[in-house]
Structure formats: C-alpha cells, structure tokens
Amino acid sequence: MLDNGLKVLVHIDQSTPMAVVNVLYDVGARDEDPQQTGFAHLFEHLMFGGSVNIPDYDEPLQVAGGENNAYTTNDLTNYYCQLPSENLETAFWLESDRMLSLAFSKKSLDVQRKVVCEEFKEHYINKPYGDVWHIMRELAFKEHAYRWMTIGKELSHVENAQLEDVKRFFFKHYTPSNAILVVAGNVSVEQVRELAEKWFGDIPSGEKYKRDLPVEPEQQEERRMTVHRKVPADAIYKTWHMCSRLDDDYYTTDLLTDILGGGASSRLYQALVKEQQLFTGINCYHFGSLDAGLLAIDGQLVKGVDIKKAEDAIEAELDKIRHGLVDERELQKVQNKTESVMAFEDMSVMNRAGSLAFYELLGDGEIMNTEFKKYQDVTVHDLKRIANVVLQPSNSNTLWYLAEN
Amino acid sequence: MPDRSQAPHIKDAIEYAITLKKPEIFTLDNGVKVYNVNAGTEEVVQIEWIFKAGNWFEKSNNLASATNFLIKNGTSKKSAYEINEYVDFYGAYLNRSCYNETAVVTLHCLSRQLESLLPMVQELFLDAVFPEEELHIFRQNMKQKLEVNLKKCDFVAGRKIDEFLFGSKHPYGVYSIEEDYDALDVDALRNFYATYYQQGHCSIFSAGILPANYAQLMNGFFGSLPFNQSSIVVQEHSIVPATEKKWNIINDPEGVQGAIRIARPFPTRHHPDFPKVQVLNTLFGGFFGSRLMNNIREDKGYTYGIYSFLVNHIHGGAWMISTEAGRDVCEATVNEVYNEMQALRDGNIDPEELLLVKNYLIGTLLGDLDGPFHIIARWKNLVLNGLDDSFFYHSVDTIKNISAEELKTMANKYLQPEDFYELVVV
C-alpha cells in the first residue's frame, strides 16, 4: 500500500509479452444520489475525455500498442488496459493522471451525455423486454440503492448532469484510498513498486469515502406486479432477497442457482422446458452483489400457455427443493462445474488481474485461491436450509410481463 | 514529482517480432487431421470437431443448423437429459455451432476429465437419433425466439443487408422464416447427419494442457469412424445481389433508434488487397480510436458505438459499417460515414495517425496470441481458409510497412459510395 492509501497488487506471468494494468474504484451505482442516478456509469465515460495533463486517454495508449476498456456495476467501477510490457510506464502515466484529476471538459460531458442516452435507448428502450430490470428492481428494493440500474433510473438524470456534479463526484470517489491497482503479466515486483511510487505516490489521498447506505428492510410479504407490453410472448420474472457476496451462505446460494437453472441438465430446464414444455427458455441466477441482493428466475412462456399454470409449475420445483434433499451426485455435479468455470476464467492475464482486484475489494486477494474450498464444503443439508430461507413466497417479487392483446 | 506533461518513452509495437507458434499435427487412421497447441497455465482443454456441414450443404433452410443443434439431443442408448447430465457432471461444456461452410462440436473441460468425456463425444458421431419430440421442442422454441428477434431493428438489419449483398437464395444471404422451421422433419435431419457427420469430412483442433497419451486417445475414439472416406461434392451457389442500393425499413413505428448497415462486396483473404484493406479498415472504423468512432460517437454523440469490419466467408465477403443511432440522427450518421470515406479517398493520412494504427494492430496481435486457445483459433482460421502461416506473416509485414499512399489507393479502389448498399431499419 502506498502512503496515500492506494493498494497495489502484482501478479507475475512471464509466459506473455504483455502487461495488464487494472484500476478498480470502490464506487458504483449504489453510491449515487437517488435524484442523480446513472452517474457512476456516465462518469466512467468521462474518464476517457482527457485528464489534467493529458488531453486524450486512448490515443497515447494505442500508440503504445495498448487497448483498454471499463465497466460499471451497481457496486464498483473497473478500468483495465493491456499493452506490451516494455511500455508499461505509459499505462502508469495515463492511469495516474486521471486519478490525479480529470480535465472536466464541457465538450466531453456534452457528448458523453448523448452517447450514454443512446446506450440507454439501445439496450433498455429499443429492445423487447428491455425495461424488465427497471421494473423489478423498483419492486424488490424499497430503500436500498439497488433499486435503480447502473444505466440510471431515467434518461433525464443523465441528460441533466452538470459539470459541478461531475467534479464533486470525482473528488469524493476517485481517490487513491478508494482504489485498488493490480499490475499483472510480464512485470516484476520491484518495477511495479518503483513505478507506483513514481506516478501514484504524490496523488493526495483524499478523504476515504465511508459508505453508509440504507439497509433494505426484510421483506414481509409477497409482492406482485403485472405489465403489458408490445412483445411477442408472455414472460415471468421472479426474485428473492439473498445474502451478500461476503456472506458464508453465498456459496450455498450460488450452487442452489446452478442446481435450479445452470444449463441443460438443470432442474427448471429439464422439467419446464423439456418435459412440460411450458417455457421456451428458463434461467436461474443471482447478481453476486456486495450488499444483500437478489436471486432470480426468469422464463419466457410458450405461446398459449396460461401464466398462472406456468408459475405454479415453477413453484412446484421450488417446493421440491425446499422439502427434499438434493442428490449427492447432483451437488457434486454443480461443484465440478464451479471448479471448471474457475479454471477457465483464469485463462487470461486480463481476467486474473480483474479477479484479483475484485477479491481485494472483498477484503483479501488471497480469497481467489481459497474460494473453491468453500464450494466443496457445501452439503445437501445446506442447500435445503438456504432454499427454505430464500425461496419463500413472503420473500418473493413476481412480475408478469404480458404481451398486449 | 514526475513530469506529467511528458509521455514516457515507448517502444513502438511495430518493432516487435511476432511469431505464431506452430501446432503439432497428427493424423488419425481414417485420415482426420488433428491440430494441437499443447500449452497453457491452467489444466484445461478445448477440442473442436469441425465438419463440412454448414448451411452451404443443406437442401432446405435451417437443416444444417437444426442437425447441428440436435446432435446431442439423444442417441439410441441415452436421452438428451442423460447426455447433458453426464457432460455437466464432469464439469464440461459441450457446445455446437453452425456456420456457412462448417458446423462445429466443441468440448471444454478440465484436462483430467478428458478420458471420461471422449466416449460421449464419440457416441454423438456414431449414434445420434434425432427424436421427433426433440425436434418438436426445438421448432417451437426457435420460432418463438425468431419472433422476438424480429422486433429488434439490429437483427432485421443484419438479415437484410446479407440478403442485399448475396441474394436470398445464397447461403450467405438466406435467413430463417417461421415456415422453414415447420418444414423440418426428422428424416431430413437423419439423412443430413449420415452424410455430413457420420460419413462426413472432419478435422480436429485442440488446445490447452493435453494428456501425454492424447494422440493415442483420439485415435482410439475417432480414428476408426468412417470420416473423410469420400470427397464432398462442393455445390456451387451463385450470388444474386439486390439491384436497389438504398433501403429504409420501418420495423417498429415507435422505435427510438435506427440500425444502420452500409456494405459492399469484398473479396476473400486470398485477394492481394486483403491485408492492406485490413489496415485501412482499422483506421476507418475498426477500433475505438477509428475515424468513424471519433467523429460519430466522440465528437457528435449520435451513437453508443460505430464499427466497420470485413465479413470473411470462405467463398466471398463484404466490407460493412454497422451502428445503431438515434432515430432523428440516422441520416446525419449515414452522411458522416460517406464524408469519412471521402476524407480517406482525397486526404492524406497523417504519419502519426498511421503509426498509431500500426502500433495498435501489432499490440493487439501480441495480446491476441496470449494463450493456447487464441493460438489455435488463428490456426483454425488459416487452415479452414486454405492458408498457412505465410498469410499471417504477410499480414504482419503489411501492417508494419504499408504507406499512407497505399492506403489512399485502397480507399479510392474500395470506398466508393456507389458500390455500397445502404440500409436503415427503425
């Protein structure tokens, strides 16, 4: 850790000629003002609009043979670039300057507001079922900031963003003490230490942001909603509140979603798509969010199927998993699958750098190497217990998304 | 305190020597070639069985893709569920995908599970039975999926532009309609399977950490299957492009964006201009720092993103520009695309911009060769297109050495608006 609070992690892999620089900022859509949603994500766009000493981020990186991208979630914002390792210092220069301060260009804000509005339209307005998660988040969360999506609650929040808001957001969240730097690939610890001191060392630490979000009160009774839209087929979306990514029960909950909806041999797919033919497709998953979040099931109905009947069929499967014990072989199947997913995720240096930053945010980069053990420790009794805690009607939110006419 | 106004010294990416690691190749008893890149940091394997069984070979629409999709939905001994459960139990992924010329079955698994999984893959190539009920479910679900997709302007635009370029009867231009799914029957699938899989033409590409007895294993399971015993009759399909060049389609009267596609026919990788145009395309619209992106997204904010790319089929291709833009700025976006073509035809490319593109291309190439899966993907592309690594090295040389003048010549040859089809779907 540098004196200003920036955490620095190094991962060495000399089999590649490349280096990866990953900067994770501990800020996401959950940290936004409810009247100014979509800001963390808009801000991610502005991070490419020039910093205090460098007019353009992308160009010098491309000259150095690099490429980059970034993403924003409800929990965090992550920036990463990859370039030939001889040019590593270019990435330090670029990343440190935009941590020091942005250029706060009016033109960049004007253009990126429009770009984000087009992104909003492309993914959430101009697509069938595009508004589902806007509706569902508002149904499921009454207090917590997960009630809006990263793109923002409405277009106007992004359209109205002002330069002053941008500055305030920057100096509140984009400080060394709110960031984690991971450098990976064909690099050495000494080299990274030296470059980190040189480029990031003199950035003022800023005030450590203290997150104090309202806790979502425990849901007491079932919530339901029906909407009608111009879509070809009815769909059903159900969510239940679940524990946070940091909770010990997270691993059991994760495996539970795999048993229900992880692929072609999962319970929901086999029973409802193949055997009963009520759905054309059905999924079960969760958001893995850092605060307590949601487990979800969504399915699109075969035309002509009664939605009540389809929902009852889902409930019948949930009933089975609440009351019976999962087969040992079935548990082992999803554990094996998890092991293999982890191995494949670790294939590229870029992914490993991103994971390391994420685990450091969770509290310790080392978790990356010990997490599989926690999956192996899950028992069939754990699965039954979590199914009974989470998959209760009183904890559920149901959206019927019906085709007009 | 560092001098932040000065960029650190860089090594130009074009100074890097790039090598494409050669695969090991062995041949099974039946003549099937197996290409292997045995490398990596994780104990995982990827194997692709590639058959000449794409829609180029089908007699009726969707036959190739339906056969490919349903190949793992039942053998005479196992149901679809039993196959899926088996594969999932070993933590593996068995995917299939169907393209124009080829159809692929891909296995991803942990290296130590490979021996348990290969017999299952073998069974699919020996004994898939295509149950009536599975086809029924497939038909029903695909029809509904199609109906949803047809609500999306980008999906509709993607189909129509291919039709304009190649014609609705050509494998590259044909698209699905609901009736095509109704017309599928299990006998046609079983026949297609017998001809193009069971007795078809196969090649195998593998990467990852392979077991020491890999050649022996593969020969044991796949070396005695009747693959590659007769040569496949290559059918000819003639390209019938649209006569009208400009199209406006209203797919959703309330749509807030238009999907824009602007495209012209373009030759295959075998054409001498191909590597040069790859560089020109990058500068024009092929990456985030391209002229199209800088103008239309970063300067005007008309779109979330705009790209141009070369569409590479084995027998012919296209050069395409693709974006979704606000409905009220679609026309302005199209005009700006033509303006950027003109700028490349008439203007001179600044040496700094050219060096940036070259460094970017070489830098990403270095990154793209990271890991066995990326390396085998390059080789697969070369082999399936009848090329070898001399094409790769020639492309690298072209990137490093091409001049602004040559790029201008290419722009004048290929970026002529009258050669392009132009389509906006709202």
Is pLDDT above 80 for B233?
A: no
Confidence of residue B134 (pLDDT cuts 50, 70, 90): very high
Give tens-digit pLDDT for B163-200: 999 999 999 999 999 999 999 999 999 999 999 999 99
Residue A235 is predicted with a pLDDT of 98
Give tens-digit pLDDT for A347-398: 889 999 999 999 999 998 888 888 999 999 999 999 999 999 999 999 999 9
For testing contact with chain B, the best of A62, A99, A345 (most B CBs within 10 A):
A62
Tell me which chain B residues have a C-beta less than 8 angstroms from the C-beta of A17: 16, 366
A327 — contact with chain B (CB < 8 Å)? no
For testing contact with chain A, the best of B109, B148, B330 (most A CBs within 10 A):
B148
Q: Which residue has the tokens 């400080």?
A: A175
The residue from B207, B222, B237 where one domain ends is B222
Tell me which chain B residues have a C-beta less than 8 angstroms from the C-beta of A281: 141
> What is the total count of domains within chain B?
2
Q: SS3 sequence, A125-158?
A: HCCCCCCHHHHHHHHHCCCCHHHCCCCCCCHHHH
pTM: 0.94
- Whether B252 is in a domain gets the answer yes
Question: Are residues B200 and B124 located together in one domain of the fold?
Answer: yes
- The distance of Cα A259 from the centroid of its chain, to the nearest Å, equals 22
Residues in chain B: 426
Which one-letter DSSP state was computed for residue B113? G
- Whether A2 is in a domain gets the answer no
| Candidate from A18, A199, A332 with C-beta closest to B367 | A18
Q: What is the CA radius of gyration of chain A?
A: 23
Confidence of residue B339 (pLDDT cuts 50, 70, 90): very high
Residue A15 is predicted with a pLDDT of 84
Are A118 and B355 a contacting pair at CB < 8 A? no
Q: What distance in Å separates the CA atoms of residue B262 and residue B424, rounded to the nearest whole number?
A: 9
Residues B391 and B272 sit within 8 Å (Cβ to Cβ): no
**Average pLDDT along chain B:** 95
| Candidate from B4, B41, B144 with C-beta closest to A233 | B144
Domain CATH number, residue A119 = 3.30.830.10
According to DSSP, the residues that pair with A2 across neighbouring strands are none
Tell me which chain A residues have a C-beta less than 8 angstroms from the C-beta of B366: 17-18, 65, 84
Are A62 and B141 a contacting pair at CB < 8 A? no
Question: Are residues B68 and B111 located together in one domain of the fold?
Answer: yes
* DSSP H/E element including A238: strand A235-241
Is pLDDT above 80 for B1?
A: no
Angle among Cα A173, A176, A180 to the nearest 5 degrees reads 95
Distance from CA of B238 to the nearest CA of A (A): 35
Low-confidence ranges of chain A (pLDDT < 70): none
- Whether B11 is in a domain gets the answer no
A204 — contact with chain B (CB < 8 Å)? no
Is pLDDT above 90 for B330?
A: yes
According to DSSP, the residues that pair with B423 across neighbouring strands are B247, B261
Tell me which chain A residues have a C-beta less than 8 angstroms from the C-beta of B2: 93, 198-199, 202
Q: For residue A106, what are its two tokens?
A: 């009016």
CB atoms within 10 A of CB A228: 12
Give the end-to-end CA distance of chain A in Å, rounded to a whole number: 61
Q: For residue A405, what are its two tokens?
A: 């006419």
- Whether A206 is in a domain gets the answer no
- C-alpha closest to that of B363 among A13, A167, A251, A61: A61
- Whether A242 is in a domain gets the answer yes
Domain range for B109:
24-222
- The distance of Cα B359 from the centroid of its chain, to the nearest Å, equals 24
Residue A380 is predicted with a pLDDT of 98
Angle among Cα A101, A107, A112 to the nearest 5 degrees reads 85
Residues 329-348 of A with CB under 8 A from B: 329, 332-333, 336-341, 343-344, 346-348
Q: Which residues contact B135 (CB under 8 A, 6 or more apart)?
A: B66, B70, B184, B185, B186, B189
Question: Are residues B288 and B180 located together in one domain of the fold?
Answer: no
Residues B271 and B313 sit within 8 Å (Cβ to Cβ): no
The residue from B156, B190, B222 where one domain ends is B222
Angle among Cα A205, A207, A210 to the nearest 5 degrees reads 130
**Is this complex's ipTM strictly greater than 0.90?**
yes
According to DSSP, the residues that pair with A181 across neighbouring strands are A8, A23
A83 — contact with chain B (CB < 8 Å)? yes
Domain range for A384:
223-403
Q: φ, ψ for residue B206 (rounded to 5)?
A: -130, 150
- Whether B14 is in a domain gets the answer no
Which residue in chain B has the smallest CA separation from A125? B256
For testing contact with chain A, the best of B370, B374, B396, B426 (most A CBs within 10 A):
B370
| Candidate from B7, B109, B298 with C-beta closest to A90 | B7
Question: Are residues B41 and B181 located together in one domain of the fold?
Answer: yes
Is pLDDT above 80 for B317?
A: yes
E strands along A47-111, which residues? 67-72, 77-84
Are B10 and A86 a contacting pair at CB < 8 A? yes
CB atoms within 10 A of CB B382: 18
Residue B370 is predicted with a pLDDT of 79
Question: Are residues A306 and A196 located together in one domain of the fold?
Answer: no
Residues A294 and A287 sit within 8 Å (Cβ to Cβ): yes
Give tens-digit pLDDT for A41-96: 999 999 999 999 999 999 999 999 999 999 999 999 999 999 999 999 999 999 99
For testing contact with chain B, the best of A347, A352, A369, A404 (most B CBs within 10 A):
A347
According to DSSP, the residues that pair with A300 across neighbouring strands are A235, A281
A273 — contact with chain B (CB < 8 Å)? yes
> What is the total count of domains within chain A?
2
Distance from CA of A72 to the nearest CA of B (A): 15
Question: Are residues A258 and A195 located together in one domain of the fold?
Answer: no
Residues 341-380 of A with CB under 8 A from B: 341, 343-344, 346-349
Q: What distance in Å separates the CA atoms of residue B424 and residue B331, rounded to the nearest whole number?
A: 9
Q: What is the CA radius of gyration of chain B?
A: 24
Q: For residue A399, what are its two tokens?
A: 């959206």
Confidence of residue B368 (pLDDT cuts 50, 70, 90): confident
The residue from A169, A185, A200 where one domain ends is A200
Question: Are residues A261 and A130 located together in one domain of the fold?
Answer: no
Which residue in chain B has the smallest CA separation from A62? B360
Residue B154 is predicted with a pLDDT of 95
Question: Are residues A184 and A276 located together in one domain of the fold?
Answer: no
Which residue in chain A has the smallest CA separation from B13? A65
- Whether B1 is in a domain gets the answer no
Using DSSP's 3-state secondary structure scheme, residue B67 falls into helix
Q: Which residues contact B219 (CB under 8 A, 6 or more apart)?
A: B28, B29
Question: Are residues A159 and A300 located together in one domain of the fold?
Answer: no
